[in-house]
Amino acid sequence: MAHDPYAALHALVRAEALRHSHAEPRPADPEHKADPEHPREKQPDERDRS
């Protein structure tokens, strides 16, 4: 199990989900808004229109 190629991926996904859930209460944070790692959070409507 320790060599499961998906183990690290799943751990990453869980960490990302935790990070996103913890960032929820701080939407007014200018650093969070300008974070290049989260372009999807900036303009959620843009994807719907296209």
pLDDT in tens, 6-50: 898 999 998 888 876 765 555 555 555 555 665 555 555 555 555
- CA gap 50, 33 in Å, rounded: 22
Global pTM?
0.33
Please give the angle made by the CA atoms of 8, 44 and 33, to the nearest 5 degrees: 75
- Alpha-carbon distances of 11 from 7, 21, 33, 36, rounded to whole Å: 6, 15, 25, 22
For the chain, the first-to-last Cα distance in angstroms comes to 42
* Higher per-residue pLDDT: 7 or 3: 7
